Amino acid sequence: MGNMSYCRFENTARDLKDCVDALENGETQELSNREIEGLEDLLRSCESIIQMKDDIESIIESWEESDVLPF
């Protein structure tokens, strides 16, 4: 099941941090083929996010400058 739109980035950021921790801790010795495919997908997605860095920073800055308070 996918993330609900109202918590998509929050949940994904937490899950991504868990993946980073696993990689840093060397928890890659017994990955299944599906996990390797997931890791490849993750890398491609991270590369796409990096390419959108300026756009993402603009979105964040817009929210920080607005009068709208996040949840």
Q: Is the pTM of this model over 0.85?
A: no
- Report domain extents, the chain: 1-30, 32-66
Q: Report d(CA 24, CA 29) in Å as an integer.
A: 12
More confident residue, 59 or 3: 59
Question: What is the tens place of the pLDDT at every residue in 14-70?
Answer: 999 999 999 999 999 999 999 999 999 999 999 999 999 999 999 999 988 886 655
Q: What is the pLDDT of residue 5?
A: 78
Q: What angle do CA 17, 21, 24 make, to 5 degrees?
A: 135
